[in-house]
Amino acid sequence: RAAGADGVRGVVALAPWCPPGEPVAQLSGRDVLVLHGDRDRDTDPAESVAYVSRARAAGARAGMLLVADGDHAMLRHHAGWHRTATAAVSHLLAPEAAPCELFVRALSAAEPPVLHPARHDPPDRPQAPGPVREPGC
């Protein structure tokens, strides 16, 4: 609801609680990115999908990214969460800078794109071989 305040350009919401009656009119004309783990049991990712849909209908540039195998605490794949949220906030603070590709995809997608964070082994430990996964922004 604070998104309606003067000077607010947008919202980056991490695993938000967006019940069906949550207002969205204040989001009109603003950028909204919701990041939600697909395994979240505390707040419902499906309610976030519906919230983004309502925000779009109210005139927001809204999108959502699902974090594969992500839960509410954001501890699993924390680097991907942080990198993606940081890139989105950076764009909101400097809108003249081009937003990251995932943000653009989320804004235009009918269904939320699924973010498959890369492995985040500590820097002193070599990465195990495996498939390359799509990183955050």
Q: Across residues 111-125, what is the average pLDDT?
A: 61
Residue 120 lies in a domain: no
Does the pLDDT of residue 129 top 50, yes or no?
A: no
* pLDDT tens-digit readout, 4-59: 888 888 999 999 999 999 999 999 999 999 999 999 999 999 999 999 999 999 99
The whole-number pLDDT of residue 118 equals 61
What is the span of the domain harbouring residue 106?
2-115
DSSP per-residue string spanning 86-135:
HHHHHHHH-TTSPPPHHHHHHHH-SSPPEE-PPP---TTSPPPS------
Residue 130 is assigned to a structural domain of this protein: no
Tens-digit pLDDT profile for residues 62-109: 999 998 888 888 777 788 778 888 888 888 888 777 777 878 889 889
Q: What is the pLDDT of residue 133?
A: 42
130: tokens are: 């495996």
CA distance 111 to 89: 22
Structural domain contains residue 49? yes
pLDDT at 134 over 50: no
Q: What is the pLDDT of residue 137?
A: 55
| Residue 121 belongs to some domain of the structure | no
Count of structural domains, the chain: 1
- Residue 125, domain member (yes or no): no
> Does this model's pTM top 0.95?
no
